[in-house]
Structure 1
Amino acid sequence: MSVLRANVTASLQYQASHELMLFGMLSVGTSCSFLYINSVLLFTLRNKQVFCETSRYILLFNLLFADTAHLVSNILLYLLASLRVKLTYYACSALVLFSVLTATISPFTLAVMSLERFVAVCYPLRHATIFTMRSTGMAIALVWTFSFIHILIRVSVLLYLFTKISLNLNMNDFCSKEAVFFGAIFDDFEDVFASTLFLSVGVVIVASYVGVSLVARSASTDKASARKALQTLLLHLIQLSLILTSTMYTTIIVAIARTVDRLALIRIYNVCFVCLSILPRCLSSLIYGIRDQTIRPILMYHLCCRLKRSVVPAKAEK
């Protein structure tokens, strides 16, 4: 009986390990596929001069660049945890700070892109003078500046904590955001910052949506452009909601861990990793890569490894 029980236990462990490996491979494979699409779209936006001289595409490039960098850092953190690789505190801190920096840039950029769509529909004659190359560059510089200030605040709090406690440079846990920002003060800081950031950006997107909706009712407005702008703003709001949910990623996993076993938890972890951590950073490729009539033919050309000999871009979306 004991031999039979041991064989059953070994069989279950073997099946569980293979199932976990399969889930891990599917998660990494899905993440790499999204990463490839983002990279191709980044290359597409730098391959044509019209994309380098139009404010909406410059903002899109900045959003995609931050999202792609965040994807890379998240995939690397996932692989390190899956392979049970432990880093020193300084190496882990550099990777986590980079992930936090790129994560903060996306909501700010979504706010600027929503304002750009609002001006394009509501003030079409002034759009070219408001969103110039210079003003767009300044907006992107402000986005990065605010994100760096956020990082500096976190680093300053960490340095203050180091004066109160001794730091073990050889981490016992796997590299993660929670392992780096270990003080309880960071929980309060995270709640305040996330609430302020997403509430502010949400107000900007909703206000832009309402403004475009009101203008779309007038007879002189281009109905097609207004409808596309409304759809884009709605997708931005959904994207912002998913990014906000991803900030509560650890809280969700910890809450679930109290009620399920280890195998079920890892299954849920992999699903949450793809849906909450990866998918929100790939929506920009779907929103613009598929819907935008200027980007779509060129993007499909590059995604298909240039099997087509020529591509005639459609007329740019107004």
Structure 2
Amino acid sequence: MTNATQSQTTINDGRGILERVFFSTVSTVPCCVFLLINGTMLFTLRSKPVFRETSRYVFLFNLLFADTVLLAHSQLLYLLAASRIRMTYPVCGVLALFASLTAVISPLTLVVMSLERYVAVCYPLRHATIMTIRNTGVAIVLVWAVSSLNVLIQAILLLNFPFEDLQSLQMKNFCARENMLLGPMSDLYDKAFTGFLFFSAGVAITCSYIGVMVAARSASTNRASARKARKTLLLHLVQLGLILSSTVHNPLLMAISKVLDGIIIARIQTVLYMCIIILPRCLSALIYGIRDQNIRPILVYHLCCGLKLSVNPAKSEISA
């Protein structure tokens, strides 16, 4: 009986290892593909002076950079959790704060990108004087400053936790941002800031969309430009919704873990991770790389390692 029990335990352990290897592979392969596409997109946006000197492409570079870093960071934590590696609180705290820094950049950048489209449609004659490279740089600095201030407040709240009362600094759970909300104040602040951030971003993008719709009815407005801006703002709202959904990934997983067993949880976790974490962080490159006629030929050219295409990227010009 003892030998049979030991054999069954060994089989279960072997199946568990195979499950973890399979799920890690399923998530890592598409993640690496998207990281390659994002990296190529980032290189594309720095390959031409006109991309570096146009505000909407500078904002896009900032958005894509934050998404790429967060995607790589999320995959690292996923692989560490799949490998059953538990960290100490200080190490996980640094990683969690880094994730908070990049996570806030995306919704804030979507806001300034929406405002840029609003100015382009509603104030076309003043767009060149308002959206200068200098003002674009100031907007990006403000985005990073707000995100950094949030991280600073979280770090202060984290340092106030009485770690000396713990028996060990080794974490009992896997490293995740939610697992580092150790005190009630940290949890309350995180919920309040996240709610305020996404509510404000949603209102800003929605107001920009309404402003563009109103301007589109004016005879002096370029209808084609307004229609394109309206579609772009709708995509921004979709992106914001997907990014917001990523904030419920771990709480949803914790709730599911209370009623289901380990193997089913692992499968659900992989599906949720692919749909809620990976997908929103790769949409920027796919959306803009395919939709934008100025980026698409150059992006395809670089993805094909410089092979000759029917469209010559050198001939791609961008209107002001």
Fold shared by both chains (TM-score > 0.5): yes
Letter of the aligned partner of 1:208 in structure 2? S
Q: If the length of structure 1 is used for normalisation, what is the TM-score?
A: 0.92
Letter of the aligned partner of 2:217 in structure 1? R
Alignment-derived partner of residue 153 in structure 1:
153
Following superposition, the deviation at residue 68 of structure 1 comes to 1.0
Q: Indicate conservation of the 8 Å contact 1:295/1:313, yes or no.
A: no
Letter of the aligned partner of 1:228 in structure 2? K
Letter of the aligned partner of 2:285 in structure 1? S
Letter of the aligned partner of 2:318 in structure 1? A
Q: Indicate conservation of the 8 Å contact 1:297/1:313, yes or no.
A: no
Following superposition, the deviation at residue 113 of structure 1 comes to 0.3
Alignment-derived partner of residue 280 in structure 2:
280
**More displaced, 67-76 or 289-298?**
67-76
Q: Indicate conservation of the 8 Å contact 1:216/1:223, yes or no.
A: yes
Q: If the length of structure 2 is used for normalisation, what is the TM-score?
A: 0.92
**More displaced, 119-128 or 257-266?**
257-266
> What percentage of residue pairs aligned between the two structures are identical?
51
Change (3 A) 1:306 1:211: same
Q: Indicate conservation of the 8 Å contact 1:100/1:151, yes or no.
A: yes
Letter of the aligned partner of 2:70 in structure 1? H
Q: Indicate conservation of the 8 Å contact 1:20/1:267, yes or no.
A: no
| Separation (CA, whole Å) in 1 of partners of 2:108 and 2:165 | 34
Alignment-derived partner of residue 28 in structure 1:
28
| Separation (CA, whole Å) in 1 of partners of 2:19 and 2:65 | 34
Letter of the aligned partner of 1:126 in structure 2? R
Helix, strand or coil: the match of 1:282?
A: helix
Change (3 A) 1:317 1:291: farther
Following superposition, the deviation at residue 316 of structure 1 comes to 2.7
Alignment-derived partner of residue 301 in structure 1:
301
Alignment-derived partner of residue 193 in structure 1:
193
Alignment-derived partner of residue 256 in structure 2:
256
| Separation (CA, whole Å) in 2 of partners of 1:314 and 1:232 | 21
Change (3 A) 1:264 1:317: farther
Alignment-derived partner of residue 55 in structure 1:
55
Helix, strand or coil: the match of 1:161?
A: coil
Corresponding position: 1:76 with 2:76: yes
Letter of the aligned partner of 1:258 in structure 2? K
**More displaced, 20-29 or 81-90?**
81-90
Q: What pairs with 1:49-128 in structure 2 (closer than 5 Å)?
A: 49-128=49-128
Following superposition, the deviation at residue 262 of structure 1 comes to 1.4
> Aligned residues, how many?
318
Following superposition, the deviation at residue 10 of structure 1 comes to 5.8
Structure 1 residues without counterparts, runs of 5 or longer: none
Change (3 A) 1:196 1:85: same
Q: Indicate conservation of the 8 Å contact 2:246/2:276, yes or no.
A: yes
Following superposition, the deviation at residue 9 of structure 1 comes to 7.2
Q: Indicate conservation of the 8 Å contact 2:112/2:139, yes or no.
A: yes
Letter of the aligned partner of 2:59 in structure 1? L
Alignment-derived partner of residue 171 in structure 1:
171
| Separation (CA, whole Å) in 1 of partners of 2:300 and 2:167 | 50
Alignment-derived partner of residue 134 in structure 1:
134
Q: Indicate conservation of the 8 Å contact 1:297/1:311, yes or no.
A: yes
| Separation (CA, whole Å) in 2 of partners of 1:85 and 1:8 | 24
Q: Indicate conservation of the 8 Å contact 2:163/2:169, yes or no.
A: no
**More displaced, 231-240 or 81-90?**
81-90
Change (3 A) 1:295 1:274: same
Following superposition, the deviation at residue 294 of structure 1 comes to 0.5
Alignment-derived partner of residue 18 in structure 2:
18
Following superposition, the deviation at residue 125 of structure 1 comes to 0.7
| Separation (CA, whole Å) in 2 of partners of 1:307 and 1:83 | 40
Change (3 A) 1:172 1:279: same
Alignment-derived partner of residue 318 in structure 2:
316
Q: Indicate conservation of the 8 Å contact 2:20/2:82, yes or no.
A: no
Q: Indicate conservation of the 8 Å contact 1:293/1:315, yes or no.
A: no
